[in-house]
Structure 1
Amino acid sequence: MVVHNDEPQLAVYTPADADTMKKLNPLEGFKNGVVHPNSTADTEMGQQEEDGYLHGVPLVLMTLSLMVGVLMISLDNSIIATAIPKITSKFDSLGDVSWYASAYLLTQLSFQPTFGKIYTYFNLKWVYLASSIIFEGGSVLCAAAPSSPAFIFGRSIAGLGAAGIFCGAMIIISRIVETRKRPLLLAIVSSMYGISSVIGPSLGGVFTHSKHLTWRFCFWINLPLGAMMALIICLYYPLSLGEAPDGNHTFREKILGLGLKSATILAGTLVCLFLALQWGGAVYPWSDSRVWGCLLASGLLLTVFVIIQIRQKEKALIRPRIISQRSVLLGCIFSALYQGAMTTQTYHLPFYFQAVKGVDPQTSGVDILPHGVTVTIATLIVGSVVTWLGYYVQFMWVGSAVFTTGAGLLHTLDQETLMAK
């Protein structure tokens, strides 16, 4: 609504205009670190679309299924922490130890944007189930691996399936509950990462220490979990809620739109960077041509990847319009830094307990329990409070300060450190 007079024209926005702008830019409410779950626009939209969401038993079972799925893929990342020393001894492959974790994470990271595209073009339900099958196949390869290269290959396949499961879980949450309930449901599902960090090392230690189960059961356990998750999805997730938002294309157009070239370049970028970091100062000196050559290749591939995304605009694997928004960009940077620090602790604490303190895998899994228990409890509490208050940036500040303090204290650990500390 515009007011005309003899003075310069001023745009005066009514509440209706504000609601319209919010619908056009759904990230507007996140710019100042506050969510308005009870706004007029959200209330009206929730009333209009409430019948399209799940309620009662179907919602509870679907939430359980998503929890199992995220627990499964996060457990595959944490359970191996206490098993890696035994796996290394089995295959006599100390030089490959860093690949056992990284192969899983590399494919998961590289193809997560691609699965975002796949879910855009194909039915959510079938893609999610296909991702589960891929993950289960990778788990079987790991469990039955006769050699270190076969084990690494299985880890990479499992990571590919994990990318589809995680991406699909986040999309399913947006389909089954209204906006105001999503922060709480996201917190519940995301808390599985904390729970896996609690039980993962302990389970890995139990399986590895057992004469009958061995470390291979760390991967066999994924089969019943995956079967339960898939069964619930098949029975309780309506096919209509999985309809692709942009499915009116030919199969060829859909394949071309997946951004497989960009995903391959991104994977190459990460592999080259990882090789340089693995070799530098350990296998070869940093001045060696193989080390700086990998760093150079990683930088060039990253440059090519960014250029492709800018040129493709709305067809890009990672759309510049979205990633350039302040809240999204800073959120991605924050998450990357946090996950990098968290993963470092998850993998190196079991090594500290086993190699430095000299305990067995089962005991090291118990010793790491406080680390995961606090993560789980804090995730659930903060998720509930954010849903109630609508503020989230303040929790990021406080959480970062507490995490940094804890990381600094862990840096002081040595062979003489008491377990109470």
Structure 2
Amino acid sequence: MHNTQSDTKCENASDTPESPTGEEESVGLARWKLGLLMFGNTLAVFCVALDNTIMSNAIPRVTQTFDSLEDIGWGSPARRHFDRQRERTTSPKTAVYGCFGGIGGAFAENSTWRWCFYINLPLGAVTTVLILCFFFDSRTGTSDVSMSSWNRFRGLDIPGLLLFLPTVFCLLLALQWGGAKYPWNNVRVIVLFVIFILAGGCWIFIQHSMKDQASVPPRLIRNRNVWSSAVYMGCIVGSFIIILYYFPIWFQAVKGGSPIQSGTMILPIIIGLIVWLGFGFQLPFIAVQTALPRSDIPVATAIVTFAQNLSEAVLVALAQTIFQNRLFAHVKQLSTLVDPNALVHAGAANLDQHFSADVLPEIVRAYSAAVTETFYAATGIAALSFIGLIRLQWLSVKKTKTNGNAAQTHL
């Protein structure tokens, strides 16, 4: 173990960790203001939890409502963020994240699944008011009012955003259509992939040209700790979200459970999420905040969150393609009496109301096999997180003081 800065000189400049502490003094909040801010933050996480834990249990009923099995992956994105300096505050937030999985099932069964979205409106309004009233820059106690409106607008990276949105849209649509609605060699799917490649290339060029003003600054993405954390987070969250979305389908289509029963049966996964979340989900954020100077932490954390959100959307769309293709293949193999189009329009809930007793066992077995093979994909994606894990630097979150400055402790 070395407590000098000589080891850091051996690293590439883009990989050199700098202390995120000691650069600026933080200004604290009054306890009552901090409490209200934490309450608003917890409400925000609760709204995020609705997107995942609630919608995952309601999705089988949604597919039945719209007579389309192709709509499983349309509601996946979620947003979370953590801070190395405030780990104690993540405990109530993550507990809230996991506690409401059965609510979506109750809405879908006793009211309407649309309440999964309606409930966001009042909670989001309260969250917005609290954050706007009590949030400020902890480094200075104020916001940076010296920056002109034009510079603030330029900081939004509007050209990059306008290119990135159609890029991701084309990728998701191609993954959703390919092999399910249209063959992979269909001109629609090919054109979508071509647009994705061209628009993605233009987006990368813009990010490179804008340097530190870009949404994803090249200087940071080249840092091994940042891209490793992004790869790890994208794989681990992507695999988890696949399991979270497809277990309710297995519970309702294979076991014949109601949406409420599905929300109850998924509780072991949710409890595991609450108890063991810090062992995996928070670590990439801790890593980038340990390895980078404080001025780079917000952007680096945003990059990791960006990888998380993008992987959720892309991998759920990919999982939907795998699930639907394997479902059709198993149905054709087990029974020649079932029309795949009828299977799509039946949705993933209450299968006994759509199919006769003669073919229902084969359909249930096909659903079970398709979900299982989708979980194989989730397992493989989780294993890929090892690529990001092995590239992270061995750094300690403990600091030692050298000549008044914080020095990094290397392991």
**Alpha-carbon displacement from aligned partner over 1:9-48 (angstroms, at most 9, x marks no partner):** xxxxx97x88x99xxx998448xxxxx8xxxx94x56xx7
Structure 1 counterpart SS, 2:215: coil
Instruction: List structure 1 segments (4+ residues) > 6 angstroms apart after TM superposition.
Output: 239-242, 381-388, 390-393
Judging changes above 3 Å, is the alpha-carbon distance between structure 1 residues 301 and 254 closer, same or farther for their aligned structure 2 residues?
same
User: Residue in 2 aligned with 1:49?
Assistant: 25
- Which whole-Å CA distance do the structure 2 matches of 1:293 and 1:386 have between them? 36
For residues 353-394 of structure 1, the C-alpha deviation after alignment (integer angstroms, 9 at most, x for no partner) is 111111111001111111111111112577999999x9999x
Instruction: Tell me what 2:86 maps to.
Output: 182
- Aligned identity (percent) is 29
Query: Are residues 246 and 330 of structure 1, via their aligned partners in 2, closer, same or farther at CA, if it must alter by over 3 Å?
Result: farther
Separation in 2 of the partners of 1:265 and 1:254?
Answer: 20
Change (3 A) 1:368 1:392: farther
8 Å contact kept, 1:70–1:189 = no
8 Å CA contact 1:309–1:319 kept in 2: the answer is yes
Q: Distance in 2 between matches of 1:87 and 1:208?
A: 8
Deviation digits for residues 63-95 of structure 1, max 9, x if unmatched? 232122122123223311121222233333444
* Larger RCO (CA within 8 A; separation ≥ 6): 2
1:355 equivalent in structure 2: 253
Task: Give the structure 1 partner of residue 217 of structure 2.
Answer: 319
Q: 1:202 aligns with which of 98, 102, 110?
A: 102
8 Å contact kept, 1:208–1:361: yes
The 2-side partners of 1:343 and 1:182 are apart by 25
**What displacement does 1:283 show?**
1.4
Please tell me whether the aligned partners of residues 184 and 383 of structure 1 are also in contact (alpha carbons under 8 angstroms). no
Answer yes or no: is the 8 Å Cα contact 1:63–1:189 preserved in 2.
Answer: no
1:67 maps to 42
Q: Cα–Cα, structure 1 residues 247 and 268, in superposed 2: closer, same or farther, change >3 Å?
A: farther
Deviations 1:275-305 (A, max 9, x none): 1111111111112222222122212211111
Q: Where does structure 1 lack aligned partners over 5 or more consecutive residues?
A: 1-13, 31-35, 109-161, 174-178, 394-411
Cα contact 2:37–2:130 (8 A) shared by 1: yes
Counterpart-to-counterpart distance in 2, 1:290 and 1:242: 52
Does 2:167 correspond to 1:191? no
Shift of 1:252: 3.5
> Going by fraction, where is helix more abundant, 1 or 2?
1
What is the root-mean-square deviation in Å for CA atoms of aligned residues? 4.1
Query: What's the counterpart of residue 83 of structure 1?
Result: 58
TM alignment of 1:62-211, pairs within 5 A: 62-99=37-74, 101-102=75-76, 105=77, 181-185=85-89, 187-188=90-91, 191=94, 195-196=96-97, 198-210=98-110
- Of 43, 46, 58, the residue aligned with 2:33 is 58
How many residues align? The count is 290
In the alignment, structure 2 segments of 5+ residues that lack a partner are 292-364, 373-411
Q: Compute the TM-score of the two structures, normalised by the length of structure 2.
A: 0.59
What residue in structure 2 maps to residue 261 of structure 1?
159
User: What are the equivalent positions in structure 2 for 1:403-418 lying under 5 Å apart?
Assistant: 414=368
> For 2:180, which of 262, 269, 282 is the aligned residue?
282
2:229 alignment partner in structure 1: 331
